[in-house]
Structure 1
Amino acid sequence: MTHARGDVDAVASSIGMTFMLKALGAKNITILFPEGVTLEARKLISYVDIADANILFVKKQDTCYSRMLTDSTCIVLDTADSNQLRAVQDGISLCRYVVVVDHHAHGDMARRANLVLIDKNSSSTSELILELLRTLNGTLSYNSTVLECLLAGVLSDSRRFLHNVSPRTFELVSWALTKGAKYSKALELLRTEVPPSARIAKLKCLARACIMKIDTLYLCISHVGAYEADCANSLIALGCDAAFVFSEDKSAKAVRLVFRSNTEFLNKFGSVYESVIRSILKELGGSAGGHEQAGGALLKIRKVEEGVHVLISVLKKALGTELVPLKEHRVCGDNTW
């Protein structure tokens, strides 16, 4: 199982883990995706054939998964905190054994697990699965489509090798290519047609953004109804050094916060996750997961405005400076033309 709304890395590592378990003789494998997967990740599921493995998209009100988890070995991938499991969170207590494979900072899943493989210096959980497969070299017959999915997971979470990569990352990519994976196929898996709703969300995110200058760096805060991760990535691509995007999650009766930052911001102010997100959680409650430069939180509040207020207060303390929004004249003003 993965975190809710599994992204490319979560889905890729699930595919890789399933292939490895099947090759080692495991049976009755079920992959649980709480609340489905992201648009980008759907392509991976249709690309690879996971024969004899059940794939179950668990909705919040579903209870059919409980029988599957009872007395089973549950492998939790790409998930630091049990709150991120959302629809299947309560089912963890039903498992006989819990194994966690992840690359995020430790959350409560590490404490609840019987066996843990966590490396926060890894680019992705997919990289850790590649390392496990390489360790079994000579034991398995490798499937090129599975390796291509794992390469896509590495590429996605490292932002095309820009974030948290190490010599091992490139060694494992090279190893996967020698085993038949095609780099061009992995890149193709990451190409998805952007739906109109995502384009609109990005445009609204930009229109609503509050931009603040701190020395030579720019910090951006915005809110949208959906696609908050895509919006945060877009703000970084447009020139923000750090981006915080809020959205109201009515089904969870909470507010989501996604953050991204670049290397310049990290070098000057340190880890956003450690200095900002943890402080917000202490004040508002909730759960979070992520790295120094990317991640998200589910806050126990109902209104975005409350989250923005606390975020700005925490940022001022963490950065040691006042935050002054840039004020620019809007071409259209507030008029209806």
Structure 2
Amino acid sequence: MLRQVIELLGGARRAAVVTHRRADADALACAKVLQLVLERLGVTVAAVVCPEGSQLEGCTRELPNDVDLYVLVDVASLSQVPPLRGRYFKIDHHHVGDDIPGIVVQRPSCTEIALKLAEEAGVELTPEVAKLAVLGIYADTVRLKRADAETLKLLAKLLEKTGGTLGDLIREEEKAEEPQRVVALLKGMKRLEAYRSSLGVICTSHVGAYEADVASLLLSIGCSIA
């Protein structure tokens, strides 16, 4: 997978890593880990960009123009980012979305893809980035409900770097993110469309963040597919 990233970079020396609007923990964690990967490959990362900001710290709102390339993370559709002037590719875990060049791997969280790239590149995560990665995985797996064996292996490695327990890490962050998560759930319900089919009740909606939480909520109220 790292070889694919190198090919997609196409010799770029300066890049910006861009998340979707109102970046959640998974988007920002994926971006921060990928920043370390790109720097390991000799690429200068001008900025990690979270359009419209994030509840979490560590990113800027504005897109830099003085870059060779934009790397989109956790972005399924170009409607989730400001207009891009220049080359771009994505690293994502959503199979549904715009036809954007890049790498799409079906994993419960985007952070897991970035961690695999970091492992291939021989990147050593800082405790701060490792903590953010734990939060990203925890959030996008809907509090580990969608976690599989591979997810838990990655979490174990991260906790060795951060120290403490999973509960220690998430308790404070959950309180900070809860209002934003509730708003996303309400928007998801407001935009809900449901259809009867031979497979059961198919529910669709769209939100800019906390997609996994919205999908879990829809399944909990009786949707067969969300």
User: Under a length normalisation based on structure 2, what TM-score does the superposition of the two structures give?
Assistant: 0.70
- In the TM superposition, residue 80 of structure 1 has moved relative to its aligned partner by 0.5
Return the letter of the residue paired with 1:147.
Answer: A
Paired residues of 1:104 and 1:290 also in contact (CA < 8 A) = no
Name the structure with the higher strand share.
1
Q: Distance in 1 between matches of 2:46 and 2:64?
A: 14
3-state secondary structure, aligned to 1:151: helix
Take 2:37 and 2:21, find their aligned partners in 1: how far apart are those partners? Answer: 23
- Superposition RMSD in Å: 3.6
- Partners of 1:11 and 1:78 in 2: how far apart? 9
Q: How does 1:116-195 map to 2 (within 5 A)?
A: 116-120=102-106, 122-136=107-121, 139-163=122-146, 165-180=147-162, 182=164, 183-188=166-171, 190-193=173-176
Could you tell me which runs of 5 or more consecutive residues in structure 1 were left unpaired when the two chains were aligned: 47-54, 59-64, 202-225, 233-243, 247-256, 260-267, 282-286, 296-317, 320-337
Q: 1:293 to 1:191 in 2, by over 3 A?
A: closer
Identical aligned residues as a percent: 19
C-alpha displacement at 1:75, in angstroms? 0.7
| Bigger radius of gyration among the two | 1
- Any conservation in 2 of the 1:2–1:79 contact (CA below 8 Å)? yes
- CA distance 1:288–1:142, shift in 2 (3 Å): closer
DSSP 3-state at the match of 2:21: coil
Distance 2:153 2:176 in 1: 31
* Offset, 1:258: 6.8
Aligned mate of 1:101, from 91, 97, 100? 91
Deviation at 1:161, TM superposition (A): 0.7
1:123-149 per-residue CA deviation (whole Å, 9 max, x = no partner) reads 11111111222223xx33331221111
Matched residue type, 1:170 = L
Q: Specify which structure has the bigger relative contact order, considering alpha-carbon pairs within 8 angstroms and separated by 6 or more residues.
A: 2
Contact 2:37–2:118 (Cα < 8 Å) also in 1: yes
Aligned with 1:112 (options 67, 76, 100): 100
Q: Find the residue that maps to 1:57 and give its secondary structure.
A: coil
Q: Which amino acid aligns with 1:269?
A: G
2:75 is paired with a residue of what secondary structure? coil
> Would you say 1:6 and 2:23 are equivalent positions?
yes
Q: Is the 8 A contact 1:104 1:289 kept in 2?
A: no
For the residues of structure 2 that align with 1:151 and 1:124, how far apart are their CA atoms? 11
Which residue in 1 is equivalent to 2:65? 67
Correspondence for 2:5: none
C-alpha offsets along residues 136-188 of structure 1, whole Å, 9 cap, x if unaligned?
A: 3xx3333122111111100011121112x222111211222344554355324
Q: Structure 2: 5+ residue runs without aligned partners? A: 1-17, 194-198, 217-222
d(CA) in 2 for partners of 1:181, 1:150: 13
Paired position in structure 2 for 1:80: 76
What is the 5 A alignment of 1:228-243? 228-231=183-186
